[in-house]
A and B are shown apart, each in its own frame.
Chain A
Amino acid sequence: MLRLIGRRLLLMVPTLVLASMLIFALAEVLPGDVGRSILGPYATQEQVEQLNRELGADRPLYERYLSWAGGFVTGDWGESLLLKTPVFPVVMRAFGNSLLLALFALVIIVPTSIVVGVFAGLRRDSALDRGITISTLSMTVIPEFVSGVVLLYIFAVWLKWLPVSAMPPEGSPFYERFYYLILPAIPLMFLELGYIARMARVGTVQVLAMPYIRTAVLKGVPRSRVVFGHVLRNAMVPTVTVIGSQVGWLIGGLVVIETLFVYPGIGKLMVDAAQYHDVVMLEASVLLVAVVYMFANLLADIVVALLNPRIRKGG
């Protein structure tokens, strides 16, 4: 098990190096340059070229990459060319916001979808199963920009039950942030519920068909013990893997939700950085999300290994 963790951690290093190179190269392909982003469409080309020279943005790609990478590995994340401010606090603030929203959403989504999915699996082919399947699937197919706008207008603009933005005013106590995150978390729940609940349902249905479950039932083991002791534990393996793969998206992929609910998260930061050629900002934020993504998957694998001794022991 420890060897598995060690191997996965070591694998992260070349993955991140490769990712950082790709980001630099891809940013180069995007139309425009940072000088034009700063000075706008109406600056003359001479002014743009002059600024690019001053910023060092006209140096060869490899030179800029090595210069950035040299700083990054020694803890210097660099300065945003666009905002003229150190990247580290900006990225960490946005990352912290995204992490909070993702965790808050997961706390709502994971138990709800597992309960719903397992319940549907246990009542396979019943009206309840079909009802759960249809309703969760319907929620999943609604894009978050549609459900988000509708929820925003119903609960924030018309009923005024919930705040219209995801950030409380400056100086509010920390716990108040959760109240502000309720509305943005709901469209995420809509999206994820159907997906995770279906995995939980399928896992439950498959496990229920296993001979050892039949044996346990025939032996007279109480149904609650069958469900909690055998079904749940084994049915969770695919569900946990899916949840692990969703964490990265929940942190770095919520551009629409962040835009709609005016939430300064890392998704919007990455899009802006890419759009305006702020490569230093883009590198820091994408690599951070990549690390989270890899850790989330590693964590999911560890949980799966704990749930399934055959994986843990290499069987």
Chain B
Amino acid sequence: MADEKFTREYGYHLVDEVLAGRMTRRQLLVRASVFGLSATAIGSLLAACGGGGGGGTTASPSASGSAAMPAPVMGGTLKAQIPPETAGFDPLTIFDQGGIVLVFQFCEYLLTLDDTNALKPQLALEWTPNSDGTVWTFKLRQGVKFNNGQPFEAADVVATFDRALNPKGASGALASLGGILKQGGTVATDTYTVTFNLEKPFADFPYLVCSSAYNTAILPRNYKGDIVKEPIGTGPFMLKPNSYVPKQRASFVKNPYYWGKDAQGNQLPYLDGIDFVMIQDEAAANAQLQAGAIDVEPQTVYQGAQALFVDPNLRVDSYPGTGIREVAFNITKDPWQKKELRQAVAYCLDRKAINDTLYNGRANLGYDTFWEPTVFPGSPTPPERAQDYNKAKQLLAAGGMPNGFTATLTTSKYLENPQLVQLIQQQCKPAGITVTPDIMSSTAYYAGANDVTPWLNYPWTITEWGSRPTPGVYVQAMLLPNSTWNTSHWNNPQFVSAFDSYQGTVDTAARTKYATQASQIQQDDTPIIVPYYITQFRTQRKNVYGIKGPGSFFFFCDEAFKTAS
């Protein structure tokens, strides 16, 4: 059952932490959002911390050309590019940007993320855990209807999660919620209250049912399973009949039943509709944007897009992202069984130079741990790992390879992966580590069963990971012995113990203690290198405003509008 007393006390606890200097105001904001404290309550907490109610606590996206927002304009159609969806846009199985962006227009989630990755209400208004984080209660928004006029109720949430967690089903939610929530664990307490009974305490549970967990889109209880024939959801837009041509285009129009209103009480969405055109090639999409054929591209890849940054007709918004390029050592393969050799590679890297080359210095540096405070507020600060060839050579000697060694680094020909391989190759050379690049197509890199696919089995790989909202979600996915995508095949009992303790407590001081332990173990053992956390760019014409979400596939248009020029 919900424990409102606990939530209130937790709020006071957060204030104490800020006043004691153990937590920043931004960290308070993020932690409070996890435990479902309302905006008013958070404002009160911030006021209690002194210095006013919330000003300066939310880091706005560092938009390179961010302009003052004009008054919203009603009407008009936004023309947006997305990459072609690989296999349609079934909310249960979407995994790529094209499919996810389409679903975000007509479906909604219990919670969503703001531009700073903090949770905010969507179909749920309040969410509270019990004292040990094993039972989470969500109070739902009332008066919401699906785009066919059917009312939204708790039974729809239960049906959604039972459908997604069907052990024989194909939903990606099975992996993201695996070991935490199973089919039957979601219960409707009343028409507008849902309780999640978890298999184990999980302090970051709300992040697993927010828009970041894109396979948990809320569908009606009587959904039959074919989203193209029945594109149903509660989102601000709905698919225009017969407008969807796979991998080419899709048009959306206003959902007449949409519940959303802006701060002034105006009905949302402002736009009459959105026309999506699927364009695979980044150069082609950039040309379309510069020529004015499209208004916005949700994700701009920095490499090759420098012209967009100086185009006076465009505005590039940048968002400190949580996505990474994971340089994984398969510790079951030679020579990576030896920790010293993995560490040696880590000390060969000049991360700032890598950031300057690949992101013009706009990415956040990583130090081989997921608890990175510049990306995930509240994380303990890890020791920096500067390039140090003397130390690298000492580690090589300690690892039994004083003269260095040769290793093959495999990645897909996607985004900046090949350039990152080149940089690692150059930076490892002075220490005597000869890196042989092995660049393959994305299809080949991800092909095959889990026990043979290159990305999970080759000795040394680089894999691109999109946004993940918390360190815990990353760890759950790749660093535990039972993680589905444990690229490094890492199994460290001390780390598992520290991580379980971290996820099993809601006490801030205890969480910081366990996070520090887990982070130190991860960095020291170095199963993976995290050289940087990517920055997301979204580019739009200068007359386009109000698109929300922290970049990449987070593309929310309920308050988007276009001015005349």
Q: Is A103 close to B, CB under 8 A?
A: no
CB distance A90 to B246 under 8 Å?
yes
* Total count of chain B residues near the partner, CB < 8 A: 43
CA distance A19 to B88 in the complex (A): 29
CA distance A163 to B294 in the complex (A): 12
Interface centre among A36, A41, A160, by most chain B C-beta atoms within 10 angstroms, is A41
CA distance A165 to B20 in the complex (A): 59
Q: Is A226 close to B, CB under 8 A?
A: no
Q: Which of A134-142, A211-219, A254-262, A289-297 contacts B (4 or more CB under 8 A)?
A: A254-262
CB distance B95 to A39 under 8 Å?
yes
CB distance B248 to A264 under 8 Å?
yes
CA distance A40 to B175 in the complex (A): 12
Q: Known contacts A39-B170, A259-B280; is A165 also within 8 Å of B288 by CB?
A: yes
CB distance A40 to B95 under 8 Å?
yes
Residue of A nearest to B227 (CB): A84
Q: Is A67 close to B, CB under 8 A?
A: no
A240 to chain B, nearest CB (A): 35
A residues 36-59 with Cβ under 8 Å of B?
36-45, 47-51
Q: Is B520 close to A, CB under 8 A?
A: no
Residue of A nearest to B95 (CB): A40
Q: Is A24 close to B, CB under 8 A?
A: no
Residues of B within 8 A of A13 (CB): none
B interface: dominant SS: loop
Q: What is the total of A-B residue contacts with beta carbons within 8 Å?
A: 114
Residues of B within 8 A of A31 (CB): 443-444, 447-448
Per-residue CB contact flags for chain B residues 238-279 toward chain A (1 = under 8 Å, else 0) read 000000011111000000000000000000000000000101
A residues 201-254 with Cβ under 8 Å of B?
none
CA distance A5 to B155 in the complex (A): 68
CB distance B444 to A43 under 8 Å?
no
CB distance B446 to A41 under 8 Å?
yes
CA distance A157 to B311 in the complex (A): 11
CB distance B287 to A84 under 8 Å?
no
Q: Is B86 close to A, CB under 8 A?
A: yes
Per-residue CB contact flags for chain A residues 6-46 toward chain B (1 = under 8 Å, else 0) read 00000000000000000000000011110011111111110
Residues of A within 8 A of B249 (CB): 170
The one of B287, B290, B485 in contact with A42, judged by C-beta atoms closer than 8 angstroms, is B485
Q: Is B174 close to A, CB under 8 A?
A: yes
Q: Known contacts A31-B444, A51-B170; is A260 also within 8 Å of B87 by CB?
A: no
Q: Is A280 close to B, CB under 8 A?
A: no
B349 to chain A, nearest CB (A): 25
Residues of A within 8 A of B88 (CB): 82-84
A residues 129-170 with Cβ under 8 Å of B?
149, 152-153, 156-157, 160, 163-165, 170
Residues of A within 8 A of B449 (CB): 45, 48-49
B residues 403-451 with Cβ under 8 Å of A?
441, 443-444, 446-451
Residues of B within 8 A of A45 (CB): 449-451
Q: Is B96 close to A, CB under 8 A?
A: yes
A177 to chain B, nearest CB (A): 15
B209 to chain A, nearest CB (A): 18
CB distance A47 to B95 under 8 Å?
no
CB distance A43 to B175 under 8 Å?
yes
CB distance B443 to A32 under 8 Å?
yes
B residues 225-247 with Cβ under 8 Å of A?
226, 228, 245-247
CB distance A272 to B247 under 8 Å?
yes
Q: Is B283 close to A, CB under 8 A?
A: yes
CB distance A157 to B172 under 8 Å?
no
Residues of A within 8 A of B293 (CB): 163-165
CA distance A3 to B360 in the complex (A): 68
Q: Is A276 close to B, CB under 8 A?
A: yes
Q: Is B93 close to A, CB under 8 A?
A: yes
Residue of A nearest to B449 (CB): A45
CB distance B290 to A157 under 8 Å?
yes
Per-residue CB contact flags for chain B residues 350-386 toward chain A (1 = under 8 Å, else 0) read 0000000000000000000000000000000000000
Q: Known contacts A32-B447, A42-B485, A43-B175; is A50 also within 8 Å of B170 by CB?
A: yes
The one of A259, A262, A276 in contact with B277, judged by C-beta atoms closer than 8 angstroms, is A262
Residues of A within 8 A of B169 (CB): 47
CB distance B287 to A83 under 8 Å?
no
CB distance A36 to B246 under 8 Å?
no
CB distance B455 to A41 under 8 Å?
yes
Q: Is B9 close to A, CB under 8 A?
A: no
Q: Known contacts A44-B450, A83-B87, A272-B247; is A50 also within 8 Å of B172 by CB?
A: no
A308 to chain B, nearest CB (A): 44
Q: Is A85 close to B, CB under 8 A?
A: yes
Q: Is B142 close to A, CB under 8 A?
A: no
Q: Is B457 close to A, CB under 8 A?
A: no
CB distance A40 to B86 under 8 Å?
yes
CA distance A272 to B98 in the complex (A): 15
B287 to chain A, nearest CB (A): 5
The one of B247, B287, B441 in contact with A157, judged by C-beta atoms closer than 8 angstroms, is B287
Q: Known contacts A31-B447, A47-B170; is A41 also within 8 Å of B284 by CB?
A: no
CB distance A84 to B447 under 8 Å?
no
CB distance B291 to A82 under 8 Å?
no
Residue of B nearest to A30 (CB): B443
Instruction: Known A-B contacts: A43-B175, A82-B87, A83-B247. Give 20 more (CB < 8 A).
Output: A30-B443, A32-B447, A36-B448, A37-B86, A38-B93, A38-B170, A39-B95, A43-B95, A43-B170, A44-B450, A47-B174, A83-B88, A83-B246, A84-B228, A259-B281, A261-B284, A262-B279, A262-B284, A262-B288, A272-B247
Offer 5 A-B interface pairs, CB within 8 angstroms, sorted by A.
Answer: A39-B93, A83-B87, A90-B246, A149-B283, A156-B291
**What residues make up the interface of A, taking CB atoms closer than 8 Å to B?**
30-33, 36-45, 47-51, 82-85, 90, 149, 152-153, 156-157, 160, 163-165, 170, 259-262, 264, 272, 275-276
In the complex, the 6 A-B pairs of residues with the closest C-beta atoms, listed nearest first: A40-B95, A31-B447, A32-B447, A164-B291, A41-B446, A38-B87
